[in-house]
Structure 1
Amino acid sequence: MGAHQYASSTDGLDTSVDIPRKYAWLVFALTFGLLISDYMSRQVLNAVFPLIKNEWALSDSQLGLLSGIVALMVGLLTLPLSILADRFGKIKSLTFMAVLWSLATLGCAIAENYQQMFIARFMVGVGEAAYGSVGIAVVVAVFPREMRATLASAFMAGGVFGSFLGMALGGVMAEHYGWRWAFGGMAVFGLCLALLYPMVVKEKKIGIQSRKIKSEAKPDQFKQPLKSIYSSRSVLATYIGSGLQLFVGGTVIVWLPSYLNRFYGMSTDRAGVIAAVIVLSSAIGTILCGMLCDRLGRNRPDRKVSLAIAFCLIGCVLLSIAFGMPAGNGQLLMICIGMFIALGTNGPSSAMVANLTHNSVHSTAFATLTLANNFLGLALGPLVIGKISDVIGLHSAFQLMPLMCIAAAAVFFYAKRHYLRDITRFEAQTKLEPTQLFNTGDR
């Protein structure tokens, strides 16, 4: 099958017409900055785990729940809040989200006990719920379609960069000023960006094309696109496989500072910085793996799935070796390499979802992917490993954790069996549409 057969499913309508490139990059920078704030507020907790654990005498299960409740709320609310954002305005919604999670992070700073901290973290999750899906929809809308896959991969890597900064800066601030100041610093950064964002990014400047499309299209023309979110086996398998793989990546991000504190005897600031460097390597890996996916999958769409399977299995082997090694620089290097590969599935997963769903519902499709990532990975992983750690210890729990990569690879293999058939059927359906919501020119 030639590349031209997939142009309609990968290209879609170019919504960036008449948007100046400088303005597009400014929108990307500010939206990316808020995503970094999102994950700084989410992951700063990991850097101060040892201090909160000692001060409030908490178990690992309780700590895991403080982390997992954010991802759980993101999983529960991302879809309905994304739909509301499409209806009431993406920019207003993104600004409100940023203000909410920043104020909730400030609430973490003044929490007096575990119950108050739990409520504050709950609200952080509510605020962050739909930011990823709505934010990526804004970014995709202001750039030419041929840049979408790479930009989506880079945007998703922003979450890992935010985790890096949250753990590194949070650990340093907690060590020198106390853990409450770590939360306070993240809150102030988020509030400043939230105030700046609507002053620069205007709904009318990024929504012209979409409004034009809606005004020209008939209501019943959007029923079929919505079905594409769940109508194929391969897209459903992609949601699940991506979530299972993030069980591993999300767990390492959450528990690594505690691991370094307990098994290396590192101080809070040093553990936060080392963990952040390892997380940074996974962000770089996400971007590079996404670029590799674009390059190798240009003429062979099924290679995206093959790469996802490879990233799962290689990550499993590397992390299994890493957590079987004795403490030392060699182990830290192997963990770093393993995380570099393990989170590489983000790029292929996003590209597969984009290829198999209508461009008019991409924000909802990405919200569905976010839901799976949070339920199966970012929420479930830290909680399950925390409970296992209470029984057999964190080191032994980490040794079992990479096995989830095998389950993820198996699901991606199932997706591969159906991917070409599903994408061919999807293109045939789009060719029957009377509108040009999918641009079949530009071959």
Structure 2
Amino acid sequence: MLMQHAEPATGEVSKTKGDVRAYAWVVFALTVGLLLSDYMSRQVLNAVFPLLKLTWGLSDTQLGSLSSVVALMVGVLTFPLSVLADRWGRVKSIILMAAMWSLATLGCAISTNYGEMLLARAFVGIGEAAYGSVGIAVVLSIFPARLRATLTAAFMAGGAFGSVMGMAIGGAVAAQLGWRSAFGAMAALGIVLVIVYRTVVTEKRLAPLQPSSDSAKTASLGMRMSFRALMKGLFSTRSIVCAYVGSGFHLLVPAALWAWLPSFLNRYYGMAPGKAAVGAAVFVLVTGLGMVVCGSLTDRISRNARDRKWLTAIVFCLACFTFLLLAFRMPAGPLQLALIGAGMFFSAGATGPSGAMVANLTPPSIHASAFATLTLANNLLGLAPAAILTGIVADRIGLLGALQLVPFAPLLAAIVFAIGKRHYTSDLDRVAALREEASR
């Protein structure tokens, strides 16, 4: 089938070795497994919000800060740590990061007051800071470019599924053994996965899965590229800036709702904390399923048209805006929950398209740094402020009133994506021409 444009060939897996593709999927599974641990450690907190509020008498603002401090650390540190990972080694960096967030989660379990918990949560964020960008860079380097939106969405959906597990398992453990045991269980799982990953995944075993030209370029350019050249590659076009910003804005919705849905169900539906956590986990699961479906749909729709990735991102954001705007203006009941579920399905739907846009508009040698920049935008514009801003507003007008404002974030994201779509075709041609000139 004739393509209107050629996607970069980064990550084409060798077809001559039958075991290479199988190992690629093993690496993908283990990398996603660590992402599950990442988000289980992050989101178990939301399942025990009501218990912490009762134990320490915390305000909604304080509860929100315990969630937002993780995303804040990720946002501040993701770029410098990702650049270091490109130089020090991605696999070694992944192992170190996972060990840190697991031990910090154990620190949450033994915290005796709000200040200690806030510090432990900050270290969870430091450990998780560069994992998303480095992990997806490893995955994209060993798979075909035609699967980028699907793989990015599937990888990032691991965050949703990890949140489901963290909220559901954490809520169940907390109900039976207390909130400290919930944090301890997440820490133990993370430590086990670190040991497995360290045993199975190595840079040496990854090398045969990567095109020799690209792996050589990544190693050499990663070491000698100047800061000015790196910045030029990361912000070379208007469309890539729109991809960063639009992605960040649209993720404010899942971040806010993942943090506050347990409390919403507890306060407005009268559910016990454990049941509310499980109920909220269902909505998080719907978000993850939506990410996978939307990413796969994007790859199919955009196969023969270069700008359809942007169109799908716009449609997903508008669908999220419409469903949630209606949902939080309805009385409590089954219809409200159904509309919240529909909105959550599309709430992170632009993740796959955004990742594919970033990969297509940056050279392979700086993909970890490019995804670090995307992660930075996601955290500073969406994930970090979502929980605490919602908490601050909730302290003034109530949680329901705060949640009624959240759906306007994807509307703003849709506008930004529409601007990026206008420039994408010319920007992609420009980037392709620069790559061709550089390769001569």
TM-score for both structures, normalised by structure 2:
0.94
Which of 351, 359, 366 is the aligned partner of 1:361? 366
Segment of structure 1 superposing worse, 331-340 or 387-396: 331-340
Q: Tell me how far 1:404 sits from its aligned partner.
A: 1.6
In the aligned structure 1, how far is the partner of 2:53 from the partner of 2:232? 46
Q: Which residue of 2 aligns with 1:439?
A: none
1:176-187 to structure 2, matched below 5 A, reads: 176-187=176-187
* TM-superposition CA deviations, 1:40-78 (whole Å, max 9, x none): 000000000000011111111111111000000001111
Q: Which residue of 2 aligns with 1:158?
A: 158
In the aligned structure 1, how far is the partner of 2:362 from the partner of 2:100? 31
* TM-superposition CA deviations, 1:186-222 (whole Å, max 9, x none): 0000000011111111111113535544678898888
Which of 283, 293, 300 is the aligned partner of 1:278? 283
Q: Which residue of 2 aligns with 1:371?
A: 376
Answer yes or no: is 1:35 the counterpart of 2:32: no
- SS of the residue aligned with 2:234? coil
Residue 170 and residue 212 in structure 1: after superposition, are their counterparts in 2 closer, same or farther (change >3 A)? same
In the aligned structure 2, how far is the partner of 1:43 from the partner of 1:219? 36
Which of 303, 324, 327 is the aligned partner of 1:322? 327
Q: Which residue of 1 aligns with 2:352?
A: 347
Answer yes or no: is 1:6 the counterpart of 2:5: yes
Segment of structure 1 superposing worse, 21-30 or 93-102: 21-30
Residue 49 and residue 432 in structure 1: after superposition, are their counterparts in 2 closer, same or farther (change >3 A)? same
Write the letter of the residue equivalent to 1:109. A
In the aligned structure 1, how far is the partner of 2:336 from the partner of 2:218? 54
Q: Tell me how far 1:16 sits from its aligned partner.
A: 5.2
Q: Which residue of 1 aligns with 2:405?
A: 400
Write the letter of the residue equivalent to 1:273. V
Please say if residues 242 and 408 of structure 1, whose CA atoms lie closer than 8 Å, have aligned partners that are also in contact: yes
Q: Which residue of 2 aligns with 1:120?
A: 120
Write the letter of the residue equivalent to 1:137. A
Please say if residues 217 and 365 of structure 2, whose CA atoms lie closer than 8 Å, have aligned partners that are also in contact: no
Please say if residues 4 and 304 of structure 2, whose CA atoms lie closer than 8 Å, have aligned partners that are also in contact: no
Q: Tell me how far 1:14 sits from its aligned partner.
A: 2.9
Please say if residues 141 and 206 of structure 1, whose CA atoms lie closer than 8 Å, have aligned partners that are also in contact: no
In the aligned structure 2, how far is the partner of 1:432 from the partner of 1:418? 21
Q: Which residue of 2 aligns with 1:312?
A: 317
Residue 355 and residue 415 in structure 1: after superposition, are their counterparts in 2 closer, same or farther (change >3 A)? same
1:90-169 to structure 2, matched below 5 A, reads: 90-169=90-169
Residue 337 and residue 216 in structure 1: after superposition, are their counterparts in 2 closer, same or farther (change >3 A)? closer
1:414-425 to structure 2, matched below 5 A, reads: 414-425=419-430
Segment of structure 1 superposing worse, 387-396 or 263-272: 263-272
Q: Which residue of 1 aligns with 2:301?
A: 296
* TM-superposition CA deviations, 1:306-344 (whole Å, max 9, x none): 111111111111001111111122211111111001211
Q: Tell me how far 1:146 sits from its aligned partner.
A: 2.9
Q: Tell me how far 1:227 sits from its aligned partner.
A: 2.3
Aligned-residue RMSD, C-alpha = 2.0
Task: Report percent identity of matched pairs.
Answer: 53
Q: Tell me how far 1:178 sits from its aligned partner.
A: 0.6
Structure 2 unmatched runs, 5+: none
Please say if residues 35 and 162 of structure 2, whose CA atoms lie closer than 8 Å, have aligned partners that are also in contact: yes
Q: Tell me how far 1:20 sits from its aligned partner.
A: 1.3
In the aligned structure 2, how far is the partner of 1:213 from the partner of 1:418? 28
Please say if residues 318 and 335 of structure 1, whose CA atoms lie closer than 8 Å, have aligned partners that are also in contact: yes
Q: Which residue of 2 aligns with 1:441?
A: none
- SS of the residue aligned with 1:228? helix
Please say if residues 86 and 222 of structure 2, whose CA atoms lie closer than 8 Å, have aligned partners that are also in contact: no
Q: Which residue of 2 aligns with 1:335?
A: 340
Write the letter of the residue equivalent to 2:72. L
Write the letter of the residue equivalent to 2:307. D
1:189-268 to structure 2, matched below 5 A, reads: 189-207=189-207, 209=212, 211-213=215-217, 227-268=232-273
Q: Tell me how far 1:138 sits from its aligned partner.
A: 1.3
Please say if residues 225 and 360 of structure 1, whose CA atoms lie closer than 8 Å, have aligned partners that are also in contact: no
1:8-87 to structure 2, matched below 5 A, reads: 9-12=7-10, 14=12, 20-87=20-87
Residue 274 and residue 218 in structure 1: after superposition, are their counterparts in 2 closer, same or farther (change >3 A)? closer
In the aligned structure 2, how far is the partner of 1:3 from the partner of 1:236? 29
Please say if residues 50 and 258 of structure 1, whose CA atoms lie closer than 8 Å, have aligned partners that are also in contact: yes
Residue 370 and residue 21 in structure 1: after superposition, are their counterparts in 2 closer, same or farther (change >3 A)? same
Write the letter of the residue equivalent to 1:6. H
1:403-442 to structure 2, matched below 5 A, reads: 403-434=408-439
TM-score for both structures, normalised by structure 1:
0.93
Q: Tell me how far 1:6 sits from its aligned partner.
A: 2.5
Q: Tell me how far 1:15 sits from its aligned partner.
A: 6.0
